[in-house]
Structure 1
Amino acid sequence: MRLQHLPFQEVNSRLRNSGLNLQLGQFCFAITTKLASVAQSLSILYADFEVFDSSVFVDFPVSVTSGHNWFSSISKSAEFRFDGYAPFNPLPLQHAPALIEWGMNWCVSSQINTFLIIHAAVIEKNGWAAVLPAPPGSGKSTLTATLIQEGWRLLSDELTLVDPVTFRVHPFPRPVSLKNQSIDIVAKRYPGLVFGPLSTDTSKGTVCHLKPPETSVSRQSESCPIAWVIFPKYEAGSATEFAPKAKSLTFIDVADNAFNFSRLGYAGFYALRNVLDRASCYQLRYSCLDDAVQIFDQLKSAE
């Protein structure tokens, strides 16, 4: 059953008691919270995801609770926990909807070693995936949010999960995190998109999450090979440049962007080498989203 088919009263009851069990890609999260803002955000952003009862195996039991901020005796705070452990300092209560998203990313990036996990967006078209590694501020999420409205399937906005045996990428299609002016850019470009609540005055500025497309969620069990590794960089006023990138440099940069490359040892090295042997590697600098979309439309598979 999809979350959207559960009455909100039932969603709230599960969140407050045994947990709301959501299948997100390869993983099952059991989420508990008494915060109305988190319940409402989950109901909006995860409406198309499957909900399971308490009999399923849970990979990540997580919660967001409220309390008093340690900075102040009167300011309310929100705290994320995984299986009782709090990996982050408490944040202001208004950031709770964003905190659950950041926390779920942390769970997979820090606890999973069955995949090579790269800090990169990944999208798919015609059976081939494009991996987009980029540091914060590069416009990666804005570009990803745009491309998934232009015929590309969202596999993940943040975490590229590469099977170290098959070298295929597995989907983890959760909400796309947009920040500051990117929120308005995407909303104005594509009217009618569904967004979660705004979290203002975070360490990243204003943050809002975009609901993943229904087709991306319904196909979240479909893995695919990687054809392209593209390093995007938004620079205001720049001319559009799309150029090949040496695979030796790509290897170094992708390894630096991987959460568990060192932990996997040879398996991580072998997986990344094989991915890059099969993929075409590029650098993209742009200031116009239309130009970037056109470049992605013209990509041809590596085979």
Structure 2
Amino acid sequence: MFDATLHIPPFNVRLRSPFAAVRRHVHTFYPRSVLPQDSRVFIDFDIEVLPGRGLRRVWRPQARFLLDGAEPFFPLPAAQAAPMFEWGMNWCVAQRPMGWLVMHGAVLARDGAALVMPGFPGAGKSTLCASLAFIEGWRLLSDELTVLDPSDGLLVPHPRPISLKNNSIGVVTAFPGAHLGPIYRDTRKGTITHAACPPASMADAAQRARAAWIVFPRFEVGAALRIEQISRVEAFTLISEQSFNGERMGGPGFDALCAMFDHVTCHELVYGSTDGGLEGIRRICTP
């Protein structure tokens, strides 16, 4: 049984699993995150990835995700145990940290200024996020989750592997410094894999950033580059739709999101290639 405590900023996670694929996933993507066994730290998430029960251990084997002993969603095929850990972590962060506002979106930073790219399905967010991290040298705060601390108005880094699917896998494979893990086929998201977070981003995970740009990217094959500045009101409405816990946070979450918009410019970006997406971000984020 693999049993380790991981510091995945800003959280401490206890992970237990008998699946060799889960152990390899941790050693591949979180090699410096494993804490000494005698560490006495507060555990934010107590996670188990376990085999299915009864016949499901041998007939069409399954993997189950448990948080604090409870099973929040249905099992998946055992071959998907490692990505199940990543999907389960997303669920944990979206559901648990009541003191922070959590939204679906990628966050990268440069010189303390953060670029937020809210994530709509099929928009190409993860591919553009990877290209900014590996080609342009932006610091990755998170590929999936925008975490805003209402107490200081800053974005909290949560660096983890970049989730890639389908056509984006071949694109990111060619990026300099990109290290991809195993490919998983026939998942609920299609064919997926993960790209390791750049080491420099992991090393700087204690450095928060202030939002400066909010960009809603949309990839369209062969499309000419289009950049349109939009109002903060429109952007606020769109990003509110991507909030996981805004309603539960109530007034403090609403106020924190309003305050974040005091410092940002907002754009929609349509692009038809990686080079086009990067050029669009350069134009938007150049002072």
**TM-score relative to the length of structure 1:** 0.90
Change (3 A) 1:284 1:20: same
Q: Does residue 1:186 correspond to 2:167, yes or no?
A: no
| Contact 1:22–1:52 (Cα < 8 Å) also in 2 | no
Q: Deviations over 1:242-280 (max 9, x none)?
A: 110111111111111000111111111111111112100
Identify the residue that residue 147 of structure 2 maps to in structure 1.
Answer: 161
Identify the residue that residue 66 of structure 2 maps to in structure 1.
Answer: 81
Rounded to whole Å, the distance in 1 between the matches of 2:21 and 2:8 is 20
Alignment match of 1:293 (pick from 256, 273, 278): 278
Residue 52 of structure 1: CA displacement? 3.8
Change (3 A) 1:172 1:77: same
1:217-256 equivalences under 5 Å are: 217-256=202-241
Identify the residue that residue 41 of structure 2 maps to in structure 1.
Answer: 56
Moved over 4 A (4+): 68-73
Residue 67 of structure 1: CA displacement? 2.0
Residue 287 of structure 1: CA displacement? 0.8
Residue 166 of structure 1: CA displacement? 1.2
Residue 293 of structure 1: CA displacement? 1.1
SS of equivalent residue, structure 1 residue 31 = strand
Q: Deviations over 1:275-300 (max 9, x none)?
A: 11210000001111112212323444
- Cα RMSD of the aligned pairs, angstroms, is 1.8
| Contact 1:110–1:259 (Cα < 8 Å) also in 2 | yes
1:1-303 equivalences under 5 Å are: 16=1, 19-53=3-37, 54-68=39-53, 74-149=59-134, 150-188=136-174, 190=175, 192-300=177-285
Instruction: Flag structure 2 segments of 5+ consecutive residues without an equivalent.
Output: none
| Contact 1:155–1:220 (Cα < 8 Å) also in 2 | yes
Change (3 A) 1:151 1:66: same
Instruction: Flag structure 1 segments of 5+ consecutive residues without an equivalent.
Output: 1-15
Q: Percent identity?
A: 36
Change (3 A) 1:224 1:70: farther
Q: Deviations over 1:112-139 (max 9, x none)?
A: 1111111100000121000000211110
Identify the residue that residue 6 of structure 1 maps to in structure 2.
Answer: none
Rounded to whole Å, the distance in 2 between the matches of 1:255 and 1:70 is 44
Rounded to whole Å, the distance in 2 between the matches of 1:243 and 1:271 is 25
SS of equivalent residue, structure 1 residue 148 = helix
